[in-house]
Amino acid sequence: MNTEPHATVAFEDIEAARERLDDESVVKHTPVERSTSLDGMTGGEVYLKMEHLQWTGSFKTRGAYNKIRQCVEDGGCESVVAASAGNHAQGVALAATTLGVESTIVMPKAAPQAKVDATRGYGATVELVGQDFREAMAHAQSLVEEGDAEFVHAYDDPDIVAGQGTLGVEMYEDCPDVETVVVPIGGGGLVSGIATAFAHLSPETRIVGVQADGAATVPDSLDKGGPQTLDSVNTIADGIATGGISQLTYGLIEEHVDEVVTVTDGDIARAVLLLMERAKQVVEGAGAASVAALLSDQLDVTGETVMPLLCGGNLDMTMLQTVLVHALTEREQILRLRVRIDDRPGKMEEVSGIIGSHNANIQTIRHDRSAPELDVGEAYLVFQIETSGAGHARNIIRSIRSQNYEVRHVNA
């Protein structure tokens, strides 16, 4: 029987990490803001922890700096290697450059250009290898085997977890009476660190982890008694799309996390938009998952002091567009109407006129004669229009119908 204990993380490790990270130019104490909008929506007292305003736009420098600094102090770490498609890349690059260490970050070929540029901007050499994260990871490991660089894992490392745990201490200091803390989970390093900190400082605080439905491995892992992985993941929240946790993070989650909930991409998209509209904060999908959980029916915080963690702000502009279109379509502020017409000159103008009379802007019109259910001489006009919301949309549909047109609200 293997009796060797698994590596784990204790509060003392987090305290030691705090001392190493005691430099505002490496990691700053990020602000907390009360959100009265979210108070009203959840029935709780909501304090947003704004770690998306951290250097590099996420918490990742905390773990990376804690790890690399120890490697340097332990005697000569000249270079590090990491694999990442996003925030870990930037965190490692900044931490390494600050410590005078060379860094090579392997990113999948399809990594967003903005993240590649940002990682290079923090001083790393970026190698674009592989179609996905796994292929990038395999290449990164081969670089470590070939040379003498130190590998910096994104979550499966006690030094990384202890570094992320410094955020838990900060959250406690910001709001010692906090009753529920909500933390997104990918590989579990972040929640493990935060939960370990709270277990020591305020064991009665409820720690809730959040995963995206399309990348949720923790509920299954807890059910089966060990880390489970997914072959493929599907979520707009790329920061938490790791598809698995490690033995280290499984152990800490099992011990210290009270509850794990999952949210849909729709919940996440709504949260991203709400944070922009109400809190005026640009937060990426993974970073908004905590607020998505509060807005879903998965989590009841009525009457509680609650702190959702906004852990990342690197929202890709293409993703922002996807999120916006999704949310505006859901609110019927972008509306697609399919109108059946006699295919004669003047009909397009007539229907457009009805829409225009409601002051709705027409974005596109498609003319389609090919649907099998149409009679000879008939066509569909598919209008994509901008409205001010569901009430406006209803009035427009009613007006078109009143002129004896068959009209349907379609999504595609």
Ligand X SMILES: Cc1ncc(COP(=O)(O)O)c(C=O)c1O
Considering beta carbons, is residue 299 or 341 the nearer one to ligand X?
A: 299
List the one residue from 13, 312, 337, 380 that touches ligand X (CB under 6 A).
312
Rounded-to-integer distance, Cα 288 and Cα 282, Å: 9
Binding part of the chain for ligand X, among 1-9, 238-246, 377-385, 386-394 by CB under 6 A, reads 238-246
When asked if residue 261 is in the footprint of ligand X (CB under 6 A), the reply is no
When asked if residue 311 is in the footprint of ligand X (CB under 6 A), the reply is yes
Considering beta carbons, is residue 65 or 155 the nearer one to ligand X?
A: 155
C-beta of 18: minimal distance to ligand X in Å? 18
Binding part of the chain for ligand X, among 81-89, 118-126, 222-230, 351-359 by CB under 6 A, reads 81-89
When asked if residue 163 is in the footprint of ligand X (CB under 6 A), the reply is no
List the one residue from 116, 185, 197, 269 that touches ligand X (CB under 6 A).
185
Binding part of the chain for ligand X, among 183-191, 334-342, 360-368, 393-401 by CB under 6 A, reads 183-191
When asked if residue 242 is in the footprint of ligand X (CB under 6 A), the reply is yes
Number of residues in contact with ligand X under rule CB under 6 A: 22
Residue nearest to ligand X (CB): 312
Considering beta carbons, is residue 284 or 332 the nearer one to ligand X?
A: 284
Considering beta carbons, is residue 67 or 88 the nearer one to ligand X?
A: 88
Considering beta carbons, is residue 154 or 282 the nearer one to ligand X?
A: 154
Cα distances (Å, whole numbers) of residue 387 to 112, 332, 391: 32, 7, 9
The DSSP-derived string for 173-208 is HH-TT--EEEEE-SSSHHHHHHHHHHHHH-TTSEEE
When asked if residue 190 is in the footprint of ligand X (CB under 6 A), the reply is yes
User: Which two three-digit tokens encode residue 366?
Assistant: 């498609």
> Quick one: the chain helix, strand, coil %, rounded to 5?
45, 20, 35
Considering beta carbons, is residue 240 or 272 the nearer one to ligand X?
A: 240
HSE toward the beta carbon, residue 41, CA cutoff 13 A: 17
When asked if residue 287 is in the footprint of ligand X (CB under 6 A), the reply is yes
DSSP state of 123: T
Q: 117-136 in b/e burial notation, b at 16+ Cβ within 10 A?
A: ebbeebebebbebbeebeeb
The answer to whether 237 and 143 have CB atoms below 8 angstroms apart is no
Cα distances (Å, whole numbers) of residue 273 to 54, 241, 249: 20, 20, 31
Considering beta carbons, is residue 107 or 385 the nearer one to ligand X?
A: 107
Those residues whose C-beta lies under 8 Å from the C-beta of residue 171, and which sit 6 or more positions away, are: 32, 49, 178, 181, 194, 197, 198, 307, 309
* E strand spans, 91-205: 102-107, 125-128, 150-151, 180-184
When asked if residue 88 is in the footprint of ligand X (CB under 6 A), the reply is yes
Considering beta carbons, is residue 26 or 253 the nearer one to ligand X?
A: 253
The answer to whether 330 and 266 have CB atoms below 8 angstroms apart is yes
When asked if residue 239 is in the footprint of ligand X (CB under 6 A), the reply is yes
Binding part of the chain for ligand X, among 18-26, 42-50, 189-197, 339-347 by CB under 6 A, reads 189-197
When asked if residue 50 is in the footprint of ligand X (CB under 6 A), the reply is no
Considering beta carbons, is residue 251 or 341 the nearer one to ligand X?
A: 251
Give the x-and-dash track for 95-134 against ligand X (CB under 6 A): ----------------------------------------
DSSP state of 286: H
The answer to whether 242 and 185 have CB atoms below 8 angstroms apart is no
When asked if residue 155 is in the footprint of ligand X (CB under 6 A), the reply is yes
List the one residue from 158, 168, 186, 243 that touches ligand X (CB under 6 A).
186
Binding part of the chain for ligand X, among 64-72, 261-269, 283-291, 333-341 by CB under 6 A, reads 283-291
Rounded-to-integer distance, Cα 105 and Cα 343, Å: 58
Q: State the CB neighbour count (10 A cutoff) for residue 225.
A: 9
Considering beta carbons, is residue 155 or 250 the nearer one to ligand X?
A: 155
Considering beta carbons, is residue 44 or 243 the nearer one to ligand X?
A: 243
Q: Which helix (H) or strand (E) segment is 365 a member of?
A: strand 361-368
List the one residue from 30, 54, 56, 58 that touches ligand X (CB under 6 A).
58
Three-class SS state of 8: coil
Rounded-to-integer distance, Cα 254 and Cα 249, Å: 8
Among candidates 352, 331, 338, 348, which has minimal Cα distance to 409? Answer: 338
Q: Which spans of this chain sit near ligand X (rule: CB under 6 A)?
A: 58, 86-88, 154-155, 184-191, 239-240, 242, 284, 286-287, 311-312
